[in-house]
Amino acid sequence: MASSAAVAAGAAGNFLLSGCQPKEEKPVADDKPQRPLPAEPEVTATKFNVCNVCSANCAMFCDIVDGKVWRIRGNPDDQVCRGHLCVKGYSSYKMLYDPDRLKYPMKRTNPEKGPGVDPGWVKISWEEAFQLAGEKFNEAKEKYGPESIVFYTRPHDFAVRLAKAIGTPNLVRHHDTCYGSHEAVWRATVTGKGRPWMLDLYNAKYILSFGWDQPSKGKNMSAQGYIHALNNGAKAVVFNPMLTATAALASEWIPIKPGTDLAVCLAMINVIISEELYDKDFVEKYTEGIDQLKAAVQQYTPAWAEEISEVPAATIERVAREFATTKPAIVPNHKRDAGGPLYANSWRTSFAFVILNALVGSIDREGGVIFQRTPSLKPFDEVFPPLEFPKARKETIMGKEKFPVIGPTGKLGSVTMAEAILNEKPYPVKAMFVRKQNVLAVPDAPRFVEALKKLDFVAVADILPTEIVQMADVVFPEPHFLETSGMTERIYFAFYPQIALKDPVGDPLYETKGYGSIIIGIAKAMGLGEHFEGVSGGKLDDERLKALGSSMDELKASPNGLWSDQKPFKPKEEFGTASKKIEFYSTMLKEGGYDPMPTWQPKRDLPSNDYPFYLLVTRYAAHRMTESQNNELVMQVAPVNYATLNKAIAQQLGVKDGDEVMVESRVNKIKLKARVIEGIRPDCVSVEHGFGHWAKDLTRAFGVGANEGDLVPGFTVEEMIALKDPGATGCMSDVCVKVYKA
């Protein structure tokens, strides 16, 4: 990639950062263009920051012109982004300047709630906002018990402490829609803790993807690694019902029937074991249960898998052999691949991924799935020792206590939340605190809106006036990440411990407060301030850096905004299960009452006469979940979502490209424009996630496209238990639909 000119430009950027003036390369006088070209704006400062669009947290250089962010570049010394950002990172500064941002605390004056209802916002002071939240949360606590207050937030030390101080066990997490299946499987079979976050695609020679589609989704490090591997001559085989960019760039695309990846994986395991193609050293040293596995997969022949998946048996055999004999080989996973929380059988598919990777010796080995080497940060409770907390009730609305594998991680509850609230099971919920979550992110969003209406009080901390903000009683405006300071350890693709500095690009634009301050404000208003005595984000960062032998001052003085501990890669010799090995027969699953080995099970919802299409959910590279549809730069690239159909089936339906169609499931229906292509199975309809905003305050996003999540049924905790999924995950694509002309 590096041409001489590109290197020169990069070098100029680095001079700026180290405080030197970049060398002006003026054109020779004779070469002066005959007419003046537009001048390049003068960059007056460059600030370090860390992208918060996704959890990759790429390290950024923010070039400032006239006091505003003009350009964002990737930090070349950052091991995650390697000098380049993704489309979402490059466009992230437009959200900072979005005129629709939440600018000050507000309270609702209209008690009626719902889509199309004007909340009657009134500007209030921060003090009043905290008072209001404190009063209402205390009211719920006193009248109905602390468990009647639910936190629907992402993991954050401050929020967890507040929940504990209140005494509520109800911290609802979104992982059941995100990666809960992978988490549960890795926990039960390899780590005893969580799942790994690294794919060493850079060294992989054979990439076998089952719905893994990170490059199409623009995920920076995965896209870079994938293209790097292909350039290096790696072979990539992609099983996906749709010809996505990942599939189109691969050596081979196999349009598998949705939800049948497990069958193909099991048959491949069978081929690899029965033909003794597996890595015997690795399997013997680092795994347990190969004999049980061998016996269990004997029934899963390639011919059997062909019947289920429509993938020819000969293809399954050939790919299995290639995968096992080309080293290093990898079955990559991230979130919503075939082993992610898409189908009722996804956790089994994720288990099969673990086995395939282990059979070829690709777990924590070069070219395989690797555990992140993150800095060991001092825990929050060690920096700020907690006081005694009130005893919280065991029973939770998420049914945490009923899921022995995923329950202890707390990473569950969002897909069952609406039913728990509406059915008052196991007890009534009265108030909710929400941060960085949206109505459109859970299955059956309209049902969740009904649940929110039932609550007495909803407080939301956010940046934009999203749908969940429209359901709030009080709103706490937060700064955009480019306005925040601090430091971030990064997890994805962390080959060695590295920490990145966050330096605000300028003064905050609005009357916002950081999340930590919001939590502390609420705590004080509730009379729980003692739990946060001396607690601050700045102190936490500094104490953590000191424990690593550095300090915030040192990080700030660093020429590249990074703290790195570049240790060489040392493969793991033992794992975190009871046996210290990778368990093909999982004792944790067995003890939890789940299948200890990945046996075949079909997905939950299969096509019928009424609902003949599989629903596929895809993502635009430019969009970040439901957060980016008001960003004018992002909307230039991906302005609306579609119902994508195969050309032959569209003809049968009388649907032309651009026609409006209805997509209907047994729970809801949505209207979308049709996009007609060749590269999708005729029995599928695909919809991009993130659209269908009904908040009028999001002026650009409002009314654009539709939310495919409306089509996906939610369920009760009891129904979830019946699925026998150790990850308690959401079946986010496990629904069939009908499609007809609108």
Partner 1 sequence: MKYAMLIDQTKCIGCGACTVECKGKYEASFGVLRTSMIHYEIGSYPNVKAAFRKQACMHCKVAACEEICPVKAIYRVEGENGGMVVVDKETCLGCGACASACPFGVPQVDPGAKKMEKCSFCAQRVVNGKSTYCAEACPVGAIDFGEREKLIAQGEERVKALKSVGRSKAAIYGKDDTGVLLIIDGDPGNFGLVPEGFTLSAAGWQAINSYGGLAVAAALGGLGYRLISDRLEEVKKEKN
Phi, then psi, of 212 in degrees rounded to 5: -70, 120
The one segment of 151-159, 381-389, 634-642, 688-696 that binds partner 1 by CB under 8 A? 634-642
Q: Is 260 in the site for partner 1 (CB under 8 A)?
A: no
Nearer to partner 1, 3 or 18 (CB): 3
**How far apart are CB 220 and partner 1 at their closest, in Å?**
6
- The strand pairing partners of 617, in sequence order, are 687
Selected binder of partner 1 within 55, 636, 652, 699 (CB under 8 A):
636
**Alpha-carbon distance 173 to 457, whole Å?**
19
**How far apart are CB 325 and partner 1 at their closest, in Å?**
18
**Alpha-carbon distance 434 to 451, whole Å?**
14
| Closest listed residue to residue 315, CA positions, set 327, 325, 324, 305 | 305
Structure tokens at 352: 């099969």
Nearer to partner 1, 24 or 533 (CB): 24
Tell me which residues in 105-144 interact with partner 1 (CB under 8 A).
none
Q: Is 4 in the site for partner 1 (CB under 8 A)?
A: yes
Selected binder of partner 1 within 19, 27, 534, 654 (CB under 8 A):
27
Q: Is 17 in the site for partner 1 (CB under 8 A)?
A: no
**How far apart are CB 726 and partner 1 at their closest, in Å?**
33
Nearer to partner 1, 38 or 568 (CB): 38
> What is the side-by-side strand order in the sheet with 329-330?
252-254, 235-239, 206-210, 329-330
Provide the sign of the torsion angle of the four alpha carbons 421, 425, 429, 435, taken in this order.
negative
Nearer to partner 1, 526 or 634 (CB): 634
H runs (alpha helix) in 232-301? 245-249, 261-274, 280-286, 290-297
The one segment of 128-136, 384-392, 628-636, 711-719 that binds partner 1 by CB under 8 A? 628-636
Q: Is 376 in the site for partner 1 (CB under 8 A)?
A: no
- Asked if 86 and 97 touch (Cβ cutoff 8 Å), the reply is no
The one segment of 165-173, 356-364, 522-530, 672-680 that binds partner 1 by CB under 8 A? 672-680
**How far apart are CB 635 and partner 1 at their closest, in Å?**
8
Query: Phi-psi region for residue 343, left (φ > 0), alpha (ψ -120 to 50) or beta?
Result: beta
**How far apart are CB 206 and partner 1 at their closest, in Å?**
13
The one segment of 6-14, 192-200, 319-327, 564-572 that binds partner 1 by CB under 8 A? 6-14
Selected binder of partner 1 within 633, 640, 704, 721 (CB under 8 A):
633
Instruction: Indicate the DSSP class of residue 363.
Output: B
The one segment of 149-157, 168-176, 299-307, 671-679 that binds partner 1 by CB under 8 A? 671-679
Residue 338: burial class (beta carbons within 10 Å; 0-12, 13-18, 19+):
buried
Nearer to partner 1, 133 or 698 (CB): 698
The one segment of 33-41, 102-110, 202-210, 373-381 that binds partner 1 by CB under 8 A? 33-41
The one segment of 216-224, 378-386, 466-474, 487-495 that binds partner 1 by CB under 8 A? 216-224
Nearer to partner 1, 236 or 661 (CB): 236
* Residues sharing a CB contact under 8 Å with residue 368, sequence separation 6 or more, in sequence order: 199, 200, 204, 328, 329, 330, 357, 360, 361, 362
Instruction: Tell the residue number behind the tokens 């099970």, with chain if given.
Output: 601
Q: Is 245 in the site for partner 1 (CB under 8 A)?
A: yes
Nearer to partner 1, 466 or 644 (CB): 644
Selected binder of partner 1 within 25, 281, 507, 533 (CB under 8 A):
25
Nearer to partner 1, 249 or 704 (CB): 249
Tell me which residues in 38-97 interact with partner 1 (CB under 8 A).
38-40, 70-71, 73-74, 84-87, 90-91, 93-94
Nearer to partner 1, 124 or 637 (CB): 637
Cα atoms in the Cβ-side hemisphere of radius 13 Å centred on 367:
21
CA angle 666, 671, 672 (to 5 degrees): 125
Say whether 560 sits in a helix, a strand or coil: coil
**How far apart are CB 24 and partner 1 at their closest, in Å?**
8
**How far apart are CB 214 and partner 1 at their closest, in Å?**
10
Nearer to partner 1, 85 or 487 (CB): 85
**How far apart are CB 215 and partner 1 at their closest, in Å?**
5
Q: Is 318 in the site for partner 1 (CB under 8 A)?
A: no
| Closest listed residue to residue 419, CA positions, set 729, 733, 113, 720 | 720
**Alpha-carbon distance 324 to 630, whole Å?**
46
**Alpha-carbon distance 594 to 587, whole Å?**
10
**Alpha-carbon distance 17 to 63, whole Å?**
10
| Closest listed residue to residue 385, CA positions, set 153, 543, 169 | 543
**How far apart are CB 679 and partner 1 at their closest, in Å?**
5
Instruction: Please count the other Cβ atoms lying within 10 Å of the Cβ belonging to residue 623.
Output: 26
Nearer to partner 1, 452 or 634 (CB): 634
Nearer to partner 1, 23 or 567 (CB): 23
Tell me which residues in 447-486 interact with partner 1 (CB under 8 A).
none
Q: What is the largest CA-CA distance in the chain?
A: 83
C-alpha to C-alpha distances, 191 to 154, 172, 204, 363, nearest whole angstrom:
22, 23, 22, 11
Q: Is 3 in the site for partner 1 (CB under 8 A)?
A: yes
Provide the sign of the torsion angle of the four alpha carbons 408, 410, 415, 418, taken in this order.
positive
The one segment of 115-123, 223-231, 549-557, 663-671 that binds partner 1 by CB under 8 A? 223-231
The one segment of 21-29, 45-53, 104-112, 395-403 that binds partner 1 by CB under 8 A? 21-29
Cis peptide before 426 (omega within 30 of 0): yes
H runs (alpha helix) in 98-219? 126-144, 157-166, 180-186
Selected binder of partner 1 within 18, 19, 31, 99 (CB under 8 A):
31
Selected binder of partner 1 within 129, 178, 204, 223 (CB under 8 A):
223
Nearer to partner 1, 346 or 686 (CB): 686
Selected binder of partner 1 within 20, 122, 248, 303 (CB under 8 A):
248
The one segment of 28-36, 171-179, 261-269, 721-729 that binds partner 1 by CB under 8 A? 28-36
| Closest listed residue to residue 86, CA positions, set 553, 566, 492 | 492
**How far apart are CB 453 and partner 1 at their closest, in Å?**
35
Q: Is 12 in the site for partner 1 (CB under 8 A)?
A: yes
# of chain residues touching partner 1 (CB under 8 A): 72
**Alpha-carbon distance 431 to 647, whole Å?**
48
**How far apart are CB 623 and partner 1 at their closest, in Å?**
10
Per-position b or e across 407-439, b if 16+ CB within 10 A of its CB? bebbbbbbbbbbbbbbeebebbbbbbbbbbbbb
**How far apart are CB 216 and partner 1 at their closest, in Å?**
6
Q: Is 218 in the site for partner 1 (CB under 8 A)?
A: yes
Tell me which residues in 673-732 interact with partner 1 (CB under 8 A).
677-682
Tell me which residues in 225-244 interact with partner 1 (CB under 8 A).
226-227, 230-231, 233, 243
| Closest listed residue to residue 622, CA positions, set 610, 646, 638 | 638
Report helix angle 261-274 to 302-309, nearest 10: 170
Cis peptide before 76 (omega within 30 of 0): no
The one segment of 375-383, 389-397, 446-454, 646-654 that binds partner 1 by CB under 8 A? 646-654
**How far apart are CB 656 and partner 1 at their closest, in Å?**
16
State the DSSP string of 561-580: SEEE--PPP---SS-SSTTS
Instruction: Indicate the DSSP class of residue 190.
Output: I
